[in-house]
Amino acid sequence: MYTTNKQKIINDPVYGFITIPDALIFDVIEHPYFQRLRRIKQLGLTHYTYPSAQHTRFQHALGAMHLMGQAIGVLRSKGIDITDEEARGLNIAILLHDIGHGPFSHTLELAIVRDLTHEDLSKLFLAELNRQFRGELDLADAIFNDTYPKKFLHQLVSSQLDMDRLDYLARDSFFTGVAEGVISYDRIIKMLTVSDDELVVEGKGIYSIEKFLISRRLMYWQVYLHKTVIAADQLLVNLLKRAKYLAGQGITLFATPAFDTFLRCNPSRGDFETDTQWLNLFAQLDDFDIFTSLKVWACHPDQILSNLCDNLVNRRLFRVEMQTLPFDPEYVALVKQKTIVKYNLAPDEIEYYFTCDKVENKAYNPRHERIMIKWKSNELIDISAASEQLNNAVMPTTVSKYLLCYPKEIR
């Protein structure tokens, strides 16, 4: 009888060869829920600014699993007890940590399902997969949800120094070509250890952690919160908002069956938690559903929807102004009024063409989760206090910037 070879090796441009650890993990990767991640871009519409940023959530998940394998090996070499079952649970947990992402990743967070984040959806997907795999993912589920007794295992999956962050910084900097995001992920992993069930970093790794935090901060301003990226994101969010409004008015819109359901209906958290049909419908959505629809909508009779879609398809993006202080209310009102006149909008339609918002960048939040440095004396000190570069309290602070987004034709 033919038996599938499940000991696969994947060639990754960031790390080289990635090995799938065992047959169960191979089967999880082969599941349609996970294969969907091939069709979801890691950075949403960032390729409108950095053309090579076309990598997917699928690649990121495999990369995070690869780094998890390295971390497990390092901790075991230092005498930290991680059983084979726990290692498998860790690999599956990190593999599935982003499985709840919808089309275009963070760009449409809460835009398709109003009160479920991708973390919430990941938990639901993991629970459903565990049911389908007849409990074989119990340990992964416990680690993912932080109910497993060994707390440091969850920190490897979700913390300020988890394998998710190490991979996305390395991968996003590679595919965008932004050198400021390059981190020493291999050295950071080699410096990991455990103290009193807490994941910590050996003292000689402090400079790599400093570079990691600075790189993360720079990547937010240069990539994730880049003005042009924000402009593209706002355009997609606004046109989807218009499409849902029209669908709610009974107007027919071209869409795949699953996407059409989410346009017409507005399922809540409770719907997803009590009826798996919603999770299965969501699992049918990816970037192609959205972009195919908006290409068709560019010729829709509704002028607002067609104009917004045509702008995004052909990269005619809105202008974004950013500054450290709130905008003058009179200036905001003037831009709004000019936009209304230019596009002959009703007062309640300005929301599709105008955004006034605030973005925040905080690379390190010790109140949420600490990064502890362990010196040879066994003393544990928070990185913000231990570092010569970071102890000026710059890194733990939140930097806010205010933005206006509106059509470039408005002067």
Q: State residue 6's pLDDT score.
A: 81
Q: State residue 251's pLDDT score.
A: 96
If one counts every other C-beta atom within 10 angstroms of the C-beta of residue 152, the result is: 20
pLDDT in tens, 37-55: 999 999 999 999 999 999 9
Q: Estimate to the nearest angstrom the gap between the alpha carbon of 360 and the chain centroid.
A: 16
Q: Is pLDDT at 375 greater than 80 in this prediction?
A: yes
Confidence of residue 396 (pLDDT cuts 50, 70, 90): low
- Mean pLDDT is lowest, of 75-79, 302-306, 356-360, for 356-360
Q: Is pLDDT at 2 greater than 60 in this prediction?
A: no
Domain residue ranges in the chain? 9-225+363-397, 227-359
Reduced to 3 states (helix: H, G, I; strand: E, B; else coil), residue 214 is helix
Q: For the residues 339-349, what does the mean pLDDT come to? A: 95
pLDDT in tens, 138-160: 999 999 999 999 999 999 999 99
pLDDT in tens, 191-212: 999 999 999 999 999 999 999 9
pLDDT in tens, 97-123: 999 999 999 999 989 998 899 999 999
How far, in Å, CA of 244 to CA of 212, rounded? 40
Say which residue, 384 or 132, is predicted with more confidence: 132
| 37 in Cβ contact with 98 (< 8 Å) | yes
How far, in Å, CA of 210 to CA of 191, rounded? 13
pLDDT in tens, 271-304: 999 999 999 999 999 999 999 999 999 999 999 9
CA terminus-to-terminus distance, the chain: 71
CATH class of the domain comprising 9-225+363-397:
mainly alpha
Reduced to 3 states (helix: H, G, I; strand: E, B; else coil), residue 409 is coil
Q: Which residue has the tokens 């949420």?
A: 368
Q: State residue 395's pLDDT score.
A: 58
How far, in Å, CA of 411 to CA of 395, rounded? 37
Could you check whether 9-225+363-397 and 227-359 share the same CATH topology? no
pTM of the predicted model, to two decimals?
A: 0.95
| 323 in Cβ contact with 401 (< 8 Å) | yes
How far, in Å, CA of 320 to CA of 232, rounded? 10
Amino acid at position 172, single letter: D
Q: For the residues 223-244, what does the mean pLDDT come to? A: 97
CATH topology (fold) of 227-359: Growth Hormone; Chain: A; (1.20.1250)
If one counts every other C-beta atom within 10 angstroms of the C-beta of residue 298, the result is: 18
Cross-strand bridge partners of residue 358: 402
Q: Is pLDDT at 57 greater than 50 in this prediction?
A: yes
Reduced to 3 states (helix: H, G, I; strand: E, B; else coil), residue 367 is coil
The pLDDT mean for the chain works out to: 94
Cross-strand bridge partners of residue 361: 399
Q: Is pLDDT at 1 greater than 50 in this prediction?
A: no
